[in-house]
Amino acid sequence: MNTLHSRLSTGAALLCTGLLAGAFLYGWANVAATFANVPLDVHLAYRVELMKRNGTIMPILMGLAIVTLAWSTVATRGRTRALITCGAVLALTALLTTVFGNVPINGEIKRWAASAPPAGYEDRLDTWALFHDLRVAAAIGALVLLVVAVSKRSSPPRGPHAAAGSVSWGGPG
């Protein structure tokens, strides 16, 4: 189904999910990767400042990705709907991982920055990194599934009706 509603919802989902995946990937590839290369006090101070910014923008991005993916799921039919639904579940996974995994550890890190990290703090940072890896993979997975869904829907028709000039836009098939 290639209605205006479907195209708008999928376009919005591509934008929001792409921004979310890009933000997480940038943090994973550039920011988190540099933490080990600076003194611990700089590392902790930077994380605390980063949390202030991320505490505003990332919930908005995650929420928009989930909402637009859900909208696209409702507006889409056929096999592409299943792909987009799985993408929405992955975006929700990124949100839940953040809320129940990263955010509690962020609270601990804020306390360490104000005083001193406890013995074994490295294990908590490793756990944070594991949760971060999971949410990065979930956000990228959501984007990949959405791109595949859009590609399937816009691919040229195949089969016996293709020669007759019929056009398929990812309908019930």
Largest Cα–Cα separation, the chain: 74
pLDDT digits over 114-167, tens only? Answer: 999 999 999 999 999 999 999 999 999 999 999 999 998 765 556 555 544 444
Inform me whether the pLDDT recorded for 101 exceeds 80. Answer: yes
pLDDT band at 79 (very low <50, low <70, confident <90, very high): confident
pLDDT at position 1: 47
pLDDT at 155: 58
Question: 18 near 129, Cβ under 8 Å?
Answer: no
Q: Would you put residue 155 in left (φ > 0), alpha (ψ -120 to 50) or beta? A: beta
**3-state secondary structure (DSSP) of residue 86:** helix
Whether 171 contacts 1, CB under 8 Å = yes
**What pLDDT is recorded for position 154?**
63
Q: Which tens digit of pLDDT belongs to each residue from 26-78?
A: 999 999 989 989 999 999 999 999 999 999 999 999 999 999 999 999 999 88
Which helix (H) or strand (E) covers residue 70, if one does? helix 40-75
Q: What is the pLDDT, as a whole number, of residue 173?
A: 43
25: its two tokens: 């990937």
**Residue 85 pLDDT > 90:** yes
Query: Which among 5, 17, 154 has a CA at the least distance from the CA of 75?
Result: 5
The predicted structure's pLDDT at residue 82: 95
Please name the residues in contact with 166: beta carbons below 8 A apart, sequence gap of 6 or more. Answer: 157
